[in-house]
Structure 1
Amino acid sequence: MHVHPLITDSATLANLCARLADAPFVCVDTEFMRENTYWPELCLIQIADTEEAAAIDPKAPGLDMKPLLDLLTENDEVLKVFHAGGQDLEIIYNLTGKTPYPLFDTQVAAMALGQGEQIGYSNLVDSWLGIQIDKGARFTDWSRRPLDDRQVDYAIGDVTHLSKIFPRMLERLKKTGRGAWLDQEMERLGDPANYANDPDLAWKRVRISGRRADVLGRLKAIAKWRELEARSKDLPRGRIVKDETIADLAGHPPKRQADLAKVRGLSTTWASNDIGKRLMTAIEGAAPLSTEEMPPRDDRKPGLGKEGALVADLLKLLLKIRARDIDVAPRLLARGEELEALAAGQRGDLAILGGWRFDQFGRDALDLVEGRLAFAVSGGKLTMTRTERLA
C-alpha cells in the first residue's frame, strides 16, 4: 500500500479524492480535540482504500476540504468504513450538515460476530491481524503543529489496518449470513438527527430528581441558555455552568439577579454582569414543561407493574442465553426497553417481532411471555425447553 506524506495542499487532496471516488470502499478516521471548545476541533483526517492511504491536515492554510467532504457525504457509490465512528460522524455533520452514506462501522459489525458490544480498536486489530498497536501517540495534542512523522504514521495506521480488516469481516458476515442483521444498526448510527444537538433538547442530558412541570420547564430554559452561551463562546458547556448548578437553579430559582451571588457554582460577578442578566432572563421566561414533553415516570413503563417487571427480567435472562448460543452481542438482538414493552403486553412496533430478530430471539421471547417456553437446567447449563401451557 502506498502511504502519502501529510497532505496540506488543495491540488494533492483533490487528486487523491478523485482516485478514491472509484474505490468500492474507503476507511476513515479523525483526530480531534474537544477539551477546551464547544465544537470538536478537527485536527487530522485519515483515509485509505486497499491501494493508498493518507492523512490530511485540515488546519493547513488555504486547504480546500470540499473534495474530501463531497466524497464522504455526496458520493453514494463508495462505502465509508469507520470503527466506533460516532464522534467522527459528529464532526463531519458539523462541517456539512450531513452524515456519510453508505456507512459501515466495524465495531457494530463485531457485535454480529461475537466480539462484544464495544470492542476497542486495538483489540479489533489484535484479533483480526495479530498486530499489537503502539499506543504511545494516543495522547498526542493533535492541534499542535508541526506533527512529526511518528504521529502521522500512528494516525494513518488506524485506516491501513482497517482496510485489511473490513474485507475479512465482510467475508465472514457473508459466510454466516449475518450481513443483513446490521442494516438497522447502521441506519441508526448514520441518522443525522443523532448529531443535530438541538438546544431545546439539551435539558434531557441533565439529571434532576422530581417531575414537577415548572421545575422541568426552568431546566429546559436554562439548559438551552447554557447551550447557546457555550456555542457563542466556543467553550465546553460545563465551563459555562455545571449540570448540578443547572439542576439547583431549576429547583430553587433566584428571585432577582443579585441572588446569583449566593448560588454555589456561580461566580459572584454574575450578580451584576451581562451573562448573569441573560441567565435571569432565561429563568424568568421559562414556561412549565408541556404534557407532551414530560419524561416517563421512574418505572419507565407505567403499565408494567411488579409482575411485568419480573417477566422483563426473565426476558433479559433469555436474551443472555440466546446471545450466548448464537455468539452475538445481546444489544444487537434486543434492547431493554423492547423487552419491557413486550412484558407489558405490547405486540406492535417492536423490532424483535419482525425480520431476523424474530427468528433469532423474538419468537422465543413471545413464547416465554405467553407460557410456551420455560427455563431448564441440563448438564449444569441453563437452557430453554418447550412446555404445554397449563390449564
Structure 2
Amino acid sequence: MKIHELITTTEPLRELCERLAKSEFVCVDTEFMRENTYWPELCLIQIGNEEEAAAVDPLADGIDLAPLWELMCDNEDVLKVFHAGGQDVEIVFNFTGKTPHPIFDTQIAMMAISQSEQIGYANLVESWLNKTIDKGARFTDWSRRPLTDRQIEYAIGDVTYLATIFPKILNKLIKTGRGAWLNAEMDKLADPANYENDGDLAWRRIRSPGRNPTVLGRLKALAAWRESEAQHKNIPRGRIVRDETLADIASHPPKKQSDLAKVRGLSQAWRDNEIGKRLLKVLEKAEPLPKEEMPEKAKRGAPLGKEGALVADLLKLLLKIRAREIDIAARLLTRADEMEALAAGVRDLPILEGWRYEVFGKDALELVEGKLAFAVKNGKLTMTHVDDMAEELAERQAAE
C-alpha cells in the first residue's frame, strides 16, 4: 500500500480524491478536539483504500476540502467505511449539511457476526490481523502544529488496517447471509436528523421530568436557550448549565433571579449576572408544550407483577442462549425494555418483525405463550418445544 505524506494543499487532495472515486470503498477516520468547544474542531482526516492512504490537514492555510466532501457526500458509487463512525459523521455534517452515503460501520457489523457489543478499534485490529496498535499517540493534542511523524503514522494506520479488515468482515457477512440485518442500522447512522442542532428539539435529549405540559414547555425553552448560548460562546452546553440542573429549574422555576443562587448546580454569581437575567426572561416567556409535541408514552402492557417479571427474566436468559448459539451481539436483537413489554402483553414490537422475528422473536413469543421451555442437553442449557418434550417423555416411558 502506498502511504502519502501529510496533504496540506488543495491540488494533491483533489488528485487523491479523483483516484479514490474509482474505488468500490474508502475507509475514513478523523482526529478532532471537542473538550472545550461546542463544535468539534476537526484536526485531521484520514482516508484510503486497499492501494493507498493519506492524512489530510484541514487546518493548513488555504486548503479547500471541497473535493473530499464531494467524494464523501455526493459520490453514491463509493462505499464509505468507518469504525464507530458517529462522531466522524457528525463532523462531516457540520461542514457540509450532509452525511456520508452510502455508509458502513465495522463496529455495527461486528455485532451481526460476533457477540461483541461495542468492539474498540484496537481490539478489532488484534482480532482480525493479530496486530497490536500503539495507543500512545491517541490522546495527543491534534490541534497543535506541526504534527509529529508518530502522530501521522498512528492516524493513517486507522484507515490502512481498516481497509484490510473491511473486506474480511464483508465476506463473512455474505457467507452468513446477515448483511441485510444491518441495513436499518446503517441507515440510522447516516440519518442527518441525528446530527442537526435544532434548538427546539434539544429538550428531547434531556431526561424529561414527568409528562406535565407546563414543565416540558419550560424545559423546551430552557434547552433551546442553552443551545444558543453554547453555540454563541462555542463551549460545551454542559458548561452553561448541566442537564439535571436544567430539568430541576423546569420543574421548580425560581420566582426571581436571586433564587437562582439556591439552585443546585448554579453558582452564587447567577443571582445578579447577565446570563441569569437571560434565563429568567426565557422562563417568563415559556409556554406549555403543545399536545402534538408531547413525547409518546412507552409501550406498556399490563403491569408485570411477580409472574411477569419472571417471564421477562426468562426472555433475557433466552436472549443470552440465542446470542451464543448464533454468535451475534444481544443488543442487535433487542433491548431489556422491549422484552419486558413482550412479557407484559405488548405485541407491536420490532422484535416481532422481519429477521428479528425469525431469529429470536418467534421463540420469545412461544416462551411467553408457554410453548417453549428450557432444557439441559449434554451439559448445555437449550430451548425445547413443550410438545417435543412430551413426546420424548412418552417414548422413554414406552421403552421402559
> What CA RMSD, in Å, does the superposition of the two structures yield over aligned residues?
2.2
Structure 1 residues 237-284: Cα deviation after superposition (integer angstroms, max 9, x where no partner): 111112232233223212122333443433444333332221111111
Shift of 1:176: 1.8
- Supply the AA of the counterpart residue of 2:168: R
- Supply the AA of the counterpart residue of 2:129: L
- Supply the AA of the counterpart residue of 1:124: L
Aligned counterparts of 1:300 and 1:346: Cα–Cα separation in 2: 7
Say yes or no: does 1:281 pair with 2:281: yes
Aligned counterparts of 2:89 and 2:309: Cα–Cα separation in 1: 36
Taking structure 2 as the reference length, the TM-score comes to: 0.90
Task: Describe the SS at the equivalent of 2:279.
Answer: helix
**Which runs of structure 2 are paired with 1:139-150 in the superposition (5 Å)?**
139-150=139-150
**Which runs of structure 2 are paired with 1:185-264 in the superposition (5 Å)?**
185-207=185-207, 209-264=209-264
Is the Cα contact below 8 Å between 1:126 and 1:132 reproduced in 2?
yes
Alignment correspondent of 1:71:
71
Is the Cα contact below 8 Å between 1:304 and 1:343 reproduced in 2?
no
- Supply the AA of the counterpart residue of 2:138: R
Alignment correspondent of 1:355:
354
Alignment correspondent of 2:28:
28
Gaps of 5+ in 2: 391-400
Alignment correspondent of 1:85:
85
- Supply the AA of the counterpart residue of 2:37: T
- Supply the AA of the counterpart residue of 2:123: N
Structure 1 residues 5-54: Cα deviation after superposition (integer angstroms, max 9, x where no partner): 11110111111101100000000000000000001111100001111100
- Supply the AA of the counterpart residue of 1:133: I
Task: Describe the SS at the equivalent of 1:136.
Answer: helix
Say yes or no: does 1:301 pair with 2:300: yes
Is the Cα contact below 8 Å between 1:216 and 1:288 reproduced in 2?
yes
- Quick check: 179-188 or 135-144, which moved more? 179-188
Is the Cα contact below 8 Å between 1:226 and 1:240 reproduced in 2?
yes
Task: Describe the SS at the equivalent of 2:8.
Answer: coil
- Quick check: 99-108 or 245-254, which moved more? 245-254
- Quick check: 5-14 or 367-376, which moved more? 367-376
Shift of 1:285: 1.5
Task: Describe the SS at the equivalent of 2:7.
Answer: coil
Taking structure 1 as the reference length, the TM-score comes to: 0.92
Is the Cα contact below 8 Å between 2:372 and 2:385 reproduced in 1?
yes
Aligned counterparts of 1:149 and 1:3: Cα–Cα separation in 2: 13
Task: Describe the SS at the equivalent of 1:156.
Answer: helix
Shift of 1:382: 1.8
Gaps of 5+ in 1: none
Alignment correspondent of 2:344:
344
Is the Cα contact below 8 Å between 1:304 and 1:340 reproduced in 2?
no
Aligned counterparts of 1:61 and 1:304: Cα–Cα separation in 2: 62
Alignment correspondent of 2:176:
176
Aligned counterparts of 1:252 and 1:336: Cα–Cα separation in 2: 32
Is the Cα contact below 8 Å between 1:48 and 1:160 reproduced in 2?
yes
Shift of 1:115: 4.4
Tell me how many residue pairs correspond in the alignment. 388
Aligned counterparts of 1:308 and 1:5: Cα–Cα separation in 2: 61
Alignment correspondent of 2:161:
161
Change in 2 beyond 3 A, CA 1:89/1:128? same
Is the Cα contact below 8 Å between 1:115 and 1:328 reproduced in 2?
yes
Alignment correspondent of 1:106:
106
- Supply the AA of the counterpart residue of 1:373: L
- Supply the AA of the counterpart residue of 1:226: R
Is the Cα contact below 8 Å between 2:213 and 2:290 reproduced in 1?
yes
- Supply the AA of the counterpart residue of 1:331: R
Shift of 1:93: 1.1
Structure 1 residues 349-373: Cα deviation after superposition (integer angstroms, max 9, x where no partner): x333333222211221121122221
- Supply the AA of the counterpart residue of 1:375: F
Shift of 1:132: 0.3
- Supply the AA of the counterpart residue of 1:14: R
Change in 2 beyond 3 A, CA 1:248/1:366? closer
- Supply the AA of the counterpart residue of 2:370: G
Shift of 1:229: 0.6
Shift of 1:207: 3.8
Aligned counterparts of 1:301 and 1:281: Cα–Cα separation in 2: 38
Structure 1 residues 98-121: Cα deviation after superposition (integer angstroms, max 9, x where no partner): 111111111111111114110000
Alignment correspondent of 1:387:
386
Shift of 1:122: 0.3
Alignment correspondent of 1:372:
371
